[in-house]
Amino acid sequence: MASGDTWRFSGSLQDAALGLGVWTFGHGEKYEGNWVNGEFVGPGVFSSTAGDLARGDFVDGKLSGWATYKFPNGLYYEGEFKNGLRNGSGVLTWPDGSFYKGEWRADARNGVGAMFDANGHLSEQGIYKDDALDQ
């Protein structure tokens, strides 16, 4: 939590550094879950006023492990995160129903993967590098 943030809290508070509940920040963002030393930790849900919605495990305030993330533009990701970035295996679905299923690294398609149309038909597959089909 940034210094100077205004916020509202409901839940159980063991001390200022450890708790479980709902934080609503002055700018409208909300986090529901555990925190330790001011950082989101363990299972939780984060939502922003822009429409982001993240559900999963947090480590040091960032998504880590298996999680879901709904973007304001309608994209939806389900898969692995590391340090708040898509990393590992996952599926990204576009608003039109088409989707990518494969490997991610540093928040981009990197590694073996495939694109499918909204009907689930394969449209391309191969090795992706920095979000583009490389081979």
Q: Read off the pLDDT of each residue in 109-132 and give the average, rounded to a whole number.
A: 97
Q: Do 71 and 52 form a contact (C-beta atoms < 8 A)?
A: yes
My answer on whether 128 and 94 are in the same domain is yes
My answer on whether 21 and 45 are in the same domain is yes
My answer on whether 48 and 98 are in the same domain is no
CA distances from 122 to 79, 98, 125 (A): 20, 10, 8
Q: Read off the pLDDT of each residue in 24-47 and give the average, rounded to a whole number.
A: 87
Residues spanned by the domain of 6: 1-58
- Looking at residue 1, its pLDDT comes to 47
Whether the pLDDT of residue 12 is over 90: the answer is no
Residue 68: inside a domain, yes or no?
Answer: no
pTM, 2 dp: 0.85
Among 78, 75, 76, 74, smallest CA distance to 89 is for 78
My answer on whether 54 and 92 are in the same domain is no
Instruction: Check the CA dihedral 36-38-39-42 and report its sign.
Output: positive
- Give the span between the Cα atoms of 114 and 120, in whole angstroms: 11
Confidence of residue 3 (pLDDT cuts 50, 70, 90): very low
Whether the pLDDT of residue 41 is over 60: the answer is yes
Dihedral pair phi/psi, residue 83, rounded to 5°: 55, 35
Domain count, the chain: 2
Amino acid type, 127: I
Point out the domain boundary residue: 13, 34, 58: 58
My answer on whether 79 and 41 are in the same domain is no
- Give the span between the Cα atoms of 67 and 62, in whole angstroms: 11
My answer on whether 49 and 89 are in the same domain is no
Q: Read off the pLDDT of each residue in 59-82 and give the average, rounded to a whole number.
A: 96
